[in-house]
Chains A and B, each alone.
Chain A
């Protein structure tokens, strides 16, 4: 067993992410982690906004209005909308691959592209709503 471990340690490793050219699915996968981390870090903001939005105190509602009208908050929310949509779409892709749907190389490539396109398009659609375009 120690010989096996010895062998493992000597395997050549090349993990320089700035040089490696990943397939699209690789980037989508990294973004799954990034979006999840972002959602986790911003949970207090989201729970706080939920708290204010459901409050029966007029001051809380006024605070909710003024916070969500702030342009910087809107940009953060736009980022969170993308993070949620990417995490959601990529999560569906992972679940499908778990049940052996879309495992083939070409399908996996297409589904990674679909995740990027769908999540970015929906971010645009919700973003326009967020900024009051429609």
Chain B
């Protein structure tokens, strides 16, 4: 079968990134759940100490970046599927990117000030 290959070739990269970020977030979720069972949310001080720990902060940072990228690819796909007028679609793409970058900054600031 011959097919016409078009586009900017970002598809495979994003497809792979979607999987890598998903695996990372899934593992992070399970670790956090285990920590909660072990008492990480037992008290306010315990919760702060847990999230302020260097290793936890390192992986929380990776989680935030992964979530941002994962949500970008997912939400962009939704816009691409349903929003036909190019100008509105690009506007939504830009707004999505901007809020996700803002959210990431906000979330990183929360864990870094601890």
Contact = CB atoms under 8 A, between A and B. Distances in A.
Interface in A9-59: 33, 36-37, 39-40, 43-44, 47, 50-51, 53-54, 56
Contacts of A43: 71, 103
A1 B4 contact: yes
B2 to A, nearest CB: 8
Given A47-B107, A51-B106, A88-B29, A95 B78 contact: no
Contact of A37 (B22, B78, B111): B78
Nearest to A98: B19
A39 B22 CA distance: 14
Given A54-B51, A88-B26, A95 B106 contact: no
Nearest to B75: A40
Contacts of B44: 53, 61
Given A43-B103, A50-B110, A53-B47, A92 B26 contact: yes
Report the contact-size class of chain B (Cβ under 8 Å from the partner).
20 to 34
A36 B76 CA distance: 12
A56 B110 CA distance: 11
B26 A91 contact: yes
A61 B107 CA distance: 17
Interface in A43-100: 43-44, 47, 50-51, 53-54, 56, 61, 88, 91-92, 95, 98
Nearest to A41: B75
B100 to A, nearest CB: 8
A50 B110 CA distance: 8
A54 B44 CA distance: 8
B19 A47 contact: no
Contacts of B48: 54, 56
Nearest to A64: B44
Contacts of B26: 88, 91-92
A81 to B, nearest CB: 12
A74 to B, nearest CB: 17
Given A36-B71, A36-B78, A54-B114, 7 more contacts: A4-B4, A39-B71, A47-B106, A50-B110, A54-B48, A54-B51, A91-B22
